[in-house]
Amino acid sequence: MNGALEDELSTLAFCWRIERRDGMTIGLTSHDRDLDIGGLVYRAALGMTPSAVRSGIGLDGEDSDVAGALTSDAISEADLMAGRWDGAALELRLTQWEEPGALWLLLARGEMGAVARKGAAFSAELIGAAAVLGGPVAPGTSPDCRARLGEKACRVDMAGRRRIVAVAGVAGAEVSATGLEPGLYAFGTLRWLGGANAGLTQGVVDNGADGLSLTDAPAFAVAAGTLALVTQGCDRQLATCAARFGNAVNFRGEPYLPGMDLLTRYPGA
CATH code: domain of residue 120: 2.30.110
Q: Taken in order 202, 208, 210, 216, is the CA torsion positive or negative?
A: negative
Task: Give me the domain span that covers residue 191.
Answer: 162-231
pLDDT at 107: 84
pLDDT at 247: 95
pLDDT at 75: 75
Residues 37, 19, 51, 95, Cα dihedral to 10°: -10
pLDDT at 64: 58
Tell me if 53 is assigned to some domain: yes
107 vs 139: CA distance, rounded Å? 33
Same domain, 76 and 18: yes
48 vs 68: CA distance, rounded Å? 4
pLDDT at 61: 42
Tell me if 156 is assigned to some domain: no
pLDDT along the chain (269 residues), means of 10: 60 88 87 91 77 48 57 72 84 89 87 73 71 72 92 93 96 95 95 92 95 94 96 95 95 84 59
Tell me if 246 is assigned to some domain: no
Same domain, 97 and 169: no
Tell me if 173 is assigned to some domain: yes
pLDDT at 124: 72
Contact 212, 166 (CB under 8 A): no
Contact 53, 64 (CB under 8 A): yes
Contact 55, 61 (CB under 8 A): yes
Same domain, 61 and 173: no
Same domain, 109 and 27: yes
CATH of the domain at 176: 2.40.10.170
Whole-model pTM?
0.73
pLDDT at 84: 84
Sheet arrangement for strand 226-231:
162-167, 226-231, 189-192, 201-208, 211-214, 174-176, 169-171
